[in-house]
Amino acid sequence: MKKIFVILMLSVLLLGLVGVASAAELSGKITIWCWDPNFNVAIMEEAATRYNKINPNAEIEIVSMAKADVEQKLNTILASGVKKDLPEIVLIEDYNAKKYLESYPGAFADLTDHFNYSEFASYKLDFMTVNDRVYGVPFDSGVAGWFYRRDYFEEAGIDVSELGNITMDEYIELGKVFKEKTGKYMQAGDPYDGGLMRTLLQSAGTWYFDEKGEPNIVNNPALKEAVRIYKEINDSGISKETSGWNEWVAAFNGGEVASVITGVWIIGSIKAEESQSGKWGVLPIPRPDVPGSVNASNLGGSSWYVLENSENKDLAIDFLNQIYAKDVDFYQKILIDRGAVGTWLPAQKGEAYSAGDPFFGNQKIYVDFAKWIEMIPPVDYGLYTYEADAAIMGVMPDVYSGKISIEEALKQAEDQLRNVIGG
């Protein structure tokens, strides 16, 4: 009896030692830079707690900053070439990813061999791939939806079952009818915000640039259509004009508008108005009327990147691997708590994804979003998305006023874009 006890004790001790030894290989501190305390930061904190259960030797510090500050700090620290005090992990918006990867070659860790990328949504990979090497861990999706007020649509006698694959023109017509019947706006938005433009472009499978990265503006039928849609929306009076994020959110929180077409991340803001619970629903987005367009797209979203020269690079990679590419339960938790739709596909077989959401009238919205995610046409955002956005939006006042034609506007925008990129 005593012998057995001793052996047991010894083996426990030994096992403990082995355990300590293997964890000691990966220990240290991971510093993470990201923005949005209610979303990315909170999600990373959840991930950190989970990883600490697997590897208690990792100390994880999450630094919460404004998005612009993360970008500024990253730019300055990478441009200066300093290798000290680099964070291990940074969050980068998908539209910006290639810009960083190509402007700072060698600054980001090549993750190609560390992750099974076939398990991630394919549209999240193009912009984080340079010369066939993948540098990021895809995180949240900006899969777009047409969020609408069930009660308003009912009041106006709109049959939702026929709105599964409509075009933007049909959407605008619907908006006019709706406004006539109820006096309310169909949507709200800043006429100079490029969000809808990017949503429409991606749903048509194109971008501001062609495969070679050359500006593709004047001869881009989808872009021409998108500009026409912007003007049409502006002329039709179906959109309540807002300026800035707060006004925009206030427009649908205050019940002034019937719907909003945007990325899935808006759910948190929609749900902030608890009195509207049960009154919302989600439809596939209307598509631009060009060949090849689908009723699914993406707006925004971001991914995690590991800095090559950071102190505990391997630990950081292990952390991202254990949680973001293995933990199904983690993805259920962040979906329920934060409305974060991950792009690691196995997670979408989880329980939370198939549950109905009472806020959305028990619609199984995440089943729909998961379906749409797979439909999103992959697009390489290239390096200059924001330059292009600014060039197009810069000519919009003259398009709205009718001073110049859409063709002329696109020509001016392309000239301007080439000017900014050139040199």
Partner 1 sequence: MVAKGFEKIQDKWGWIFISFATIFLALFIFYPLVYSLYLSTFSTKGIIKNFVGLGNYKRLLQDNYFILSIKNIFVILVIQVPIMLFLALIFAFLLNDPKLKLKGVYRTALFLPAVTSLVAYSVVFKMMFSTEGLVNNILINLHIIKEPIRWLLDPFWSKVTLIIAMTWRWTGYNMMLYLAGLQNISQEVYEAAEIDGAGKTAQFFRITIPLLRPIILFTTILSTIGTLQLFDEPMMLAAGVTTGSSVGPGNSLLTPSVYIYNVSFKYVPNFGYASAISYMIVIIAVILSIIQFRVAGEER
CA distance 142 to 331: 15
DSSP 291: T
**Which of residues 169, 173, 190, 308 is near partner 1 by CB under 8 A?**
190
Coil, helix or strand at residue 296: coil
The count of residues interacting with partner 1 (CB under 8 A) is 52
CA distance 106 to 109: 7
Q: Does 416 bind partner 1 (CB under 8 A)?
A: yes
Q: How far is the CB of 30 from partner 1 (least distance, A)?
A: 24
Question: Which of positions 381-400 make contact with partner 1 (CB under 8 A)?
Answer: 383-384, 386-387, 389-390, 392-398
Residues 6+ apart with CB under 8 A from 223: 197, 201, 206, 208, 216, 217, 392, 410
Q: Does 99 bind partner 1 (CB under 8 A)?
A: yes
Q: Does 79 bind partner 1 (CB under 8 A)?
A: yes
* Contact window for partner 1 (CB under 8 A) among 112-120, 174-182, 217-225, 379-387: 379-387
Q: How far is the CB of 35 from partner 1 (least distance, A)?
A: 13
Q: How far is the CB of 75 from partner 1 (least distance, A)?
A: 5
Q: Does 34 bind partner 1 (CB under 8 A)?
A: no
CA-nearest of 103, 170, 181, 90 to 137 is 90
Q: Does 94 bind partner 1 (CB under 8 A)?
A: no
**What type of residue is 159?**
D
Identify any residues that bridge with 143 across adjacent strands, giving them in sequence order: 298
Ramachandran assignment for 402, one of left (phi > 0), alpha (psi -120 to 50 degrees), beta (any other): left
Strands of 35-180 (E only): list them: 58-64, 89-93, 129-130, 133-134, 136-138, 144-149
* Contact window for partner 1 (CB under 8 A) among 15-23, 29-37, 190-198, 302-310: 190-198
Q: Does 300 bind partner 1 (CB under 8 A)?
A: yes
DSSP 52: H
Scan for tokens 């949240």, then name that residue.
140
**Which of residues 16, 29, 237, 245 is near partner 1 by CB under 8 A?**
245
Residues recorded for the chain: 423
Complex with partner 1: residue 29 or 403, whichever CB lies closer: 403
Antiparallel, parallel or unpaired: β 144-149 and 280-283: antiparallel
Q: Does 136 bind partner 1 (CB under 8 A)?
A: no
**Which of residues 223, 299, 325, 409 is near partner 1 by CB under 8 A?**
299
Q: Does 342 bind partner 1 (CB under 8 A)?
A: no
Question: Which of positions 260-279 make contact with partner 1 (CB under 8 A)?
Answer: 262
Complex with partner 1: residue 346 or 386, whichever CB lies closer: 386
DSSP 123: G
**Which of residues 11, 22, 57, 243 is near partner 1 by CB under 8 A?**
243
CA distance 217 to 207: 9
**What is the CB neighbour count within 10 angstroms for residue 22?**
10
**Which of residues 57, 72, 112, 354 is near partner 1 by CB under 8 A?**
72
Sheet with 144-149, edge to edge strand ranges: 259-263, 144-149, 280-283
* Contact window for partner 1 (CB under 8 A) among 167-175, 189-197, 322-330, 331-339: 189-197
CA-nearest of 380, 383, 387 to 414 is 387
Q: How far is the CB of 24 from partner 1 (least distance, A)?
A: 35
Complex with partner 1: residue 204 or 388, whichever CB lies closer: 388
* Contact window for partner 1 (CB under 8 A) among 147-155, 328-336, 364-372, 378-386: 378-386
Identify any residues that bridge with 30 across adjacent strands, giving them in sequence order: 60
Q: How far is the CB of 338 from partner 1 (least distance, A)?
A: 18
* Contact window for partner 1 (CB under 8 A) among 15-23, 155-163, 239-247, 312-320: 239-247
C-alpha angle 90/91/94, rounded to 5°?
135
Binding site for partner 1 (CB under 8 A): 68, 71-72, 75, 78-79, 81, 99-100, 102-105, 107, 189-195, 241-248, 262, 299-300, 383-384, 386-387, 389-390, 392-398, 415-416, 419-423
